[in-house]
Structure 1
Amino acid sequence: MTVANAKSGSAMQQILDNLKEMPSGSGAKDIDLIFLKGIMESPIVQSLAKAHERLEEVQLQAVRDNNVELVSEILDSLNNLPEKDAATAELTRILQEPHFKSLIETHDKVAAKCYEMPDATENSNSVLTSSLMPADAVRMIGIQKKAAEPLGVTFRVVQGEMVIARILHGSSIDRQGMLHTGDIIREVNGREVGSDPNELQELLRECSGSITLKVLPSYKDAPAPPQIYLKSHFNYNPTTDTLIPCKEAGLSFSKGDILHVVNKEDPNWWQARKIVGGATGLIPSQFLEERRKAFVKRDEDISDNGILCGSLTAKKKKKKMMYITAKNAEFDRYELQIYEEVAKMPPFQRKTLILIGAQGVGRRSLKNRLIVMNPLRYGTTVPFTSRRPREEELDGQNYCFVQREEMEKDIKDSRYLEHGEYDGNLYGTKIDSIHEVVNAGRTCILDVNPQVCL
């Protein structure tokens, strides 16, 4: 079966004819032939064959493959002009743009059919031979910055590379979404950044307007912001914390504040936002604060080494305590209250609170307690029943007594929120009675048995 010199469409047809003429063999071989025949007859493969034939008929040739040299010659000629007008200055600016340079370099590589990876031994300093990122990861990214506006980003040095260590939630960089944690910064406006985080911070601080960065992306998909809300049980002031990696990025809060945790990638320092006030910053994680308050000696350094804003310097002697089973009650009294996870409840017009629990857990006691504490805010309904009233019971006080036939008809007409049968009698909560409590401006509290029909 020789098809090397045939066109793609003819070659595929010949392959299909040969497959049809091949005798049947083992079951596995027949399955392989059927699978191969299905691939060859698929519309996608047929379309690829036609596209290949068309490309073979139309020979596309680049005009030249040394346009980088051509642009350099044009720039030299423009710079040697005795007088420059506005058009000349504009052309010079365009030819020096990083995006235009990258476009010309890419065109020359495609024209020269240079598709293979460069040898790292030939150019060890090339941005394409980074040990941290793939060779085709170089990107030119443009960001906007106002004068004297902090970007909200910190850096650390990893194998001589300037890596983004942290991006503060809500900062200018976070809002633009162009950079991510783990990205490597190579150049700022055509200037190499070096390996000093202080120099890079100073360079970015002086920039304003449009900033062009040469970046090696981390190719890490940004996780969706976690919807975690915590209620703090302690006061925190980052200016007095000796462990925080960056005091300026810390978020102070008081006991009882509600915090929205937006980033938990760092096991020791979370990024959170205050619900009241909207300020965003670093807070100690549950793990870190538990160890600090429990006076447990650290087995390893929890500081973020290499991050610009600081490192862990406190070395206090920690108190060690041996847990003794006989004194477990004493240890249980020292349960740490740090954060309590809470839920954000959406507003709703029909204010109804339903208490659900097993028999005997205290649903009715909790309902009565809330109503007694604030009768103007909470109320409840009077349940309906088909049983006869007892001597001490009044209609409309403990129960609303109705005939079984009437109650069955209302249940069939969906006029009950919940209903059930006990000892041959029907019990239920009528929807109209709930509306009466809500219309009076109170929250209706219902204690529902898990076994009732809703």
Structure 2
Amino acid sequence: MQQVLDNLTDLPPSTGAEEIDLIFLKGIMENPIVRSLAKAHERLEDSKLEASLLEAHDIVASKCYESPPSSPEMNNSSVNNQIVPVDAIRILGIHKRAGEPLGVTFRVENNDLVIARILHGGMIDRQGLLHVGDVIKEVNGHEVGNNPKELQELLKSISGSVTLKILPSYRDNIIPQQIFLQQDELHSLVFVKCHFDYNPYNDNLIPCKEAGLKFSKGEILQIVNREDPNWWQASHVKEGGSAGLIPSQFLEEKRKAFVRRDWDNSGPFCGTISSKKKKKMMYLTTRNAEFDRHEIQIYEEVAKMPPFQRKTLVLIGAQGVGRRSLKNRFIVLNPTKFGTTVPFTSRKPRDDEKDGQAYRFVSRAEMETDIKAGRYLEHGEYEGNLYGTKIDSILEVVQTGRTCILDVNPQALKILRTSEFMPYVVFIAAPELETLRAMHKAVVDAGITTKLLTDTDLKKTVDESARIQRAYSHYFDLVIVNDNLDKAFEKLQTATEKLRTEPQWVPISWVY
């Protein structure tokens, strides 16, 4: 600006006033500062226009169309035998691919199709234009009737532009979708481990089979909505994708509550031996065993933890399946990482036995006192002598920085599966009868054992293994079929090494 004024002072005296004005204005317009201000103003106006267009688009997408009535009759519409103003009807346009689900389910209410639920992460949920309770009146200009299944099939088959005429469940301004997402995030960080297989296409109770989520036993799901008491919304943690419907804990418990468990009339409880002559029987309290009989496992809430060393490695399996061989090999090859307990007994030591090696010898009175005080994980009696595993002996191994390996009866898992012991539970399953027979023959031929087992004994092992797996599989972190001892050891070793390098899903009670 100062430069423009300096130029004016250099003009000859004969220059007229009009010429001076033109020169002054020209100088201002050519000034770089003025030009920058002009460009900024143009951009600001363009931004305002763009914002206006976006605002208009949002209003069209989210508000009711309000057309001036041409007659009193056109000013109202009949819905559910009630007079409803025309401006309550909304027309929505969406674009979809053929076969792509909208992520909604419907129910019949007063002979109308009403949105029953909106699946988390689905198309409709992402757009935020429809809400639970909205009545669907027309699709592409055609009335929808009152059959939810037909409407689902119609919407699934349509591709391209889809026009919906709806009667909304509210008339107020739409709350921005971000608020819903923030509220969902506060309640969506719930993860569960599934203890049963589920296929929605085999479920006669699910309101919409296409909206169901298939999963397998042992999978981890994220629960994103639990408002419906019968049907939760969940998504796969590993595979991702939008949410689907799964039966709630309440619904699945009702379905399974009166199903006879396989041990109800199977004689002795699995893991016990009816004849005292065969082997000493280890057992827990009757209360725990009775609790196991009535326990129904559906979902278990879990949390993801970084890699860490488990305090105990628990081997579960039927008698004679090879648990002790695996345990001993682990300890011999990795004495600084793994250890085990020394059992207690009330019998007198033999001449070649030293206290603390194969057994810890205590008096029967002392052992009975500790049993009554709950200091034993499990105990039993054999030929008039007590035997048992003391809980403190497990903690003694853990305090040395090693993982304590235990081969116990499955009922002990009720006590062990806590944050105090943090077990990694491996079920050593028996192979098929033919394979087990061949393995036993090889052991006898090699002179490793002189004890001959009959086919009846081997079949009992296979049957007991199957019963344990059915009754306690919800506790297992890994299942290994021991059809080859070397291969079973390699699988077990690989699994324990992964615990130190990979994240782990553990019961929520271990964390909070």
Q: Could you tell me the TM-score, scaled by structure 2's length? A: 0.37
More helix by percentage: 2
